[in-house]
Structure 1
Amino acid sequence: MSVAAEGRYRWHNSTDPRLVRLHHAVDTLTTLRPRVTVSYPEDGTLTVAYAGLDAGLDHVLPFLEQRRGPTALREERRTTWARLAAHGVPEADLLAVGCPAGRTFRPPARQPTVVAPFRIGLVVPLDTDRTAVPARLSRKSRQQYQREQRTLDRTLEVGTTRVDFAFFYDRMHRPTMLRRHGAATRSVPRETAWQSLFRHGVLFFLRERGERVAGMLCRLEPGTLVLRLAGVLDGSAERYRSGTYIALYIAILEWAQREGLRRVDLSGAEPFLSKGIVQFKRKLHPHVASPATHFTGKRLWLWVRRDTPAVRDFLVANPVLAQERGGLRATYFHDSHRAPRTDLRWETSGVVGATRVDLDDFLTGVPCAVSRAGSTSPGTSGWSGRPSRP
């Protein structure tokens, strides 16, 4: 079991170039006839579809559904890349396409499309300056962190036994995932977490006034600590929202620095600024880029198929980290009735800047399924609506 679990972990998470190339070859073969999944909403407002890499069914489509609203029905079918590029998915208002490395998805000319990395990774580089880790926080957050360190008598503990592992997995990780994600909860199976993470990594507990209140299970790689599973005691919503969670991250970063590690990998997320974990981890000012695992080189194409109020609401509410040659660029959509969501911040290493895109310009020529509530004449932002280049 341990050999199989370790093999599965490395297949999905290794940065070994040989395994990455092999994974890419398998992706190319398994997507010769891409699977299409159409997700219909309960309220009938916004139908989204996903096609391409199967990994998107675990990452991309659940995110789109969560941001869209409750799902009434999913339908699946197979198609070809040529048919998909020519006709899209007729039922869908918004189509997301996950492309293997080396494949370019090109819908008809001038169709409104945005290209993003399939997944982003967030990594904190470390140096020898012991004050550098807390300095990553804003002044206000740093003052709160230092104050609570004293008043709550916080300490970091390393768990070493199977009992420690069971306490973390059953009392912290699983309850937290269930509270946050409910039926959509995805996690590492218990045996895999034991074999591939605990036995090859470090289990941390944060104590407040002597009580274990939060934990993190990490994997150790050469020069790198990879944060994988986390949780707070009994999934407490109050602890999750409080300074406890950020204090755990800071304490682990300081531990990694003392141990002489070069970086801490905060793990990955979908390429949207509205992703809660992206906004939370951005506080630590990580470097953001496509992960060095098999996700490297993979792209996510977002193709708007119809112009409706629900589509506009979705695009405005979920700014995209679009792919550019020099890095990532935050893309904020807006129109005369919908202000850009600039409260969702982008400033961190690897994100080279931000662009505001007028939807009246971006969606020029897109069929309107219903009257465009709140739209005006085309703007003058200069956005062409042509497919972005990866």
Structure 2
Amino acid sequence: MKTITTTEDLAAFCADAARADYVTVDTEFLRERTYYSKLCLIQLAYRGDGTDDAVLVDPLAEGIDLAPLYDLFRDAGVVKVFHAARQDLEIFAVEGDTIPAPLFDTQVAAMVCGFGEQVGYETLVRRVAKAQVDKSSRFTDWSRRPLTDAQKKYALADVTHLRDIYEHLAAELAKTGRTPWVEEEMDVLRDPATYRVEPRDAWRRLKMRNPSPRYAAIARELAAFREDYAQTNNVPRSRVFKDDALLELASMKPKTPAELGKARLLLREARKGAIADGILAAVAAGLAVDKADLPDLPSQKNRDQINAALADLLRVLLKAKAEKAGVAAKLIATASDLDDIASGTRDGDWAKGWRKTVFGTDALRLCEGEIALACKGHAVRVIELPRD
């Protein structure tokens, strides 16, 4: 098990990998105590002759420069293969301002190929590579050096078995003509905006039950302060204050340190110093927002107008369509999507691209009374209804 600790060795490996059709990639990182992930290890492999075609790269090694790796990531002739790529890609987007391309995510591909929803790497290793993964090192401290042999073996397995998985899924997609489906799914992962959290937009992640625009304005300012503080100080946003405390503050509208001290859910560290000052300033800013500039609440639109019977029919239709296509239902449309459709929404990812072909068109036809569903045995059939 070779571990690369110098820029020269990394450049040599990347030059060899650049001659391959693809390279498999994985990372080990820590994030429990920081806002941004701390990259601790990179695993790389390609299909070679078995000699040094799978390596570990130590990004913590003194003096190492990852520039050769980022050059490989930008090489359009080599497919970069990940499993459940989002967190790995975020690291490279933040640290190297690079998103690997072309890109292939085996978790997404497996969902398209009928392996179920959010299929895990170990499951694919077992079902495709006919091997087992030793999980004993999964939750170890990857920042400590030296790494143990068990850690190295575990980490390297994440990219060596991935070669077999990628080749199997790529062949299956080519056979079924669904390679473009996976390409569509990669659009979000290739978009740099996927990995940026703008403080002014952070409030949109909150689950707010209060419909008041003023409440939302205060929550927006509090969320923006928290996100900016967390990014600047590289601490988890929950270490600044948690969502429930934020929403409590938006309701309380504290204007003084004394009023702030009455918050039940605020961490002790947040009741003084820079965080306390930031909270009071954010609340004041939210209260000062002009009525014309109050935020539009996240679209909980028409939730009270959901046609519950139609939503149930859409769930049946989705299940039937997913089973027929051999695609994970969750990849086609979420439960929230179905409720949106049943409340009158007529656009969304479910109505675009391959999803429209598999499900979206018939979903809209069901809403318009153009088709009905019938059950025969275990099969659900779509029945055309006569036009009026």
**TM-score, normalising length from structure 1?**
0.26
Q: TM-score, normalised on structure 2?
A: 0.26
Which has more helix, going by share of residues? Answer: 2
